[in-house]
Structure 1
Amino acid sequence: MQPSDGSGLYFLVPSSPSPHSSYFTRTTNNMHDFHVNMYLNPSCIHPQAQELNLQLPCFSNNSTSDEEQQLSIIKERKQRRMISNRESARRSRMRKQRHLDELMSQMARLRNENQQLLRKLNQLSESHDHVLQENVKLKEETSELRQLVVTMKMRSHYSSLEAIITHPTTELSD
């Protein structure tokens, strides 16, 4: 069988003619004319089929306007979705920018605090070093003063002993 074209309809035709081919061709052509006429002339359509045609929107004459309306609705939804997505992306960018600005502000504040803390730490470190040096001086002075007291006591005792040794009777008489 070979495909054949008949008024835009494709059907298979036997490759070898048969003895009944003239009858088959005549019947097919008559049926083809009947089907074509039925769709072109609405009066040939059975009343129940016409009623069905009126009830089903896919067979109505307004199908193109319905399709256009559906396409318009789809296009409108697509447009709204696109606008919504743009707005969402814009809000997202704004949120990110606001977050970035907050982080930059926080970073500047923390750097400032860090510098202040470093200054205070340096001041405290210098003060600590000064106090340690002062402590060393005071300990040296304390040691010197103790040594002086010990020396003075020893001299005092030595003087007393010397006075006793040199004047033994005077002290006993007093």
Structure 2
Amino acid sequence: MAPVQRPGSSGSDSDPRYANIDERKRKRMLSNRESARRSRMRKQKQLEDLVSEVGTLQKDNSQLSENINVTTQRYIEMVSANNVLRAQAVELTDRLRSLNSVLHIVEEVSGLDVEIPEIPDSLLEPWRLPCPIQPIMASVDMFEC
């Protein structure tokens, strides 16, 4: 009498050659599943790391942007203050010229020798102001409020 076969079975269950192949297939399947699980975990970790890095970079970018805005505002204030000082220098130079003209007239009319100050070249040509060459020193907290 022939052995009773289960439905869907080819009778290879008892053959050791096929049992060995089935065992290898099963082990390979388990190994593939574990490998896929590790791969998914790695990808999930990479995604979490990238999301964290995006948050850090956005925060850093925001801080840099704020520092740029503050520095730009300070620069605009300095330019404005320099413009005011230049206008005042021009006005004072004009006054000095007028006063010197009055002194020349007084000198001519009175015949007295009046000491008339020279107008310094730096006032007549402010773009030629002597500036000592000094290294620009930067510090870490230069841009902090």
Q: CA RMSD in A?
A: 2.0
2:71 corresponds to 1:120: no
Unaligned runs of 5+ in 2: 1-10, 114-145
Superposed CA offset, 1:125-155 (max 9, x none):
1011101111110111010110111011111
Query: Hey, what does 2:102 align to over in structure 1?
Result: 155
Alpha-carbon spacing, 1:106–1:81, altered in 2? closer, same or farther (3 Å): same
Q: How far apart are 1:66 and its partner, in Å?
A: 9.4
SS at match of 2:15: helix
Structure possessing the higher relative contact order (Cα contacts under 8 Å, 6 or more residues apart): 2
Once the two structures are TM-superposed, the CA of residue 68 in structure 1 deviates from its matched residue by: 2.1
User: What residue is the counterpart of 2:28 in the other structure?
Assistant: 81
> Which protein shows a greater Rg?
1
Q: Which runs of 5+ in 1 are unaligned?
A: 1-63
Percentage of identical aligned residues: 34
Written as runs of structure 1 = structure 2, the 5 A alignment for 1:125-136 is: 125-136=72-83
Shift of 1:65: 8.7
Q: Which residue of 2 aligns with 1:139?
A: 86
Scaled by the length of structure 1, the TM-score of the pair is: 0.55
Counterpart in the other structure of 2:138: none
Question: For residues 63-97 of structure 1, what are the alpha-carbon distances to aligned partners after superposition, in whole Å with 9 as ceiling and x for unaligned?
Answer: x8995212221111111001100011011101111
**Structure 1 or 2: larger strand share?**
1
Deviation at 1:160, TM superposition (A): 1.0
Aligned-partner Cα distance in 1 for 2:68–2:12: 82
Looking at structure 2, the residues matched to 116 and 99 of structure 1 have their Cα atoms a distance apart, in angstroms, of 26
* Residue 48 (structure 2) pairs with residue 101 (structure 1): yes
Instruction: Give me the whole-angstrom Cα distance separating, in 2, the residues matched to 1:99 and 1:158.
Output: 87
Aligned-partner Cα distance in 1 for 2:33–2:12: 31
Identify if the C-alpha distance between structure 1 residues 103 and 149 changes in structure 2 by more than 3 Å, giving closer, same or farther.
same
Residue matched to 1:17: none
Q: Distance in 2 between matches of 1:119 and 1:142?
A: 34
Which AA in structure 2 matches 1:133? S
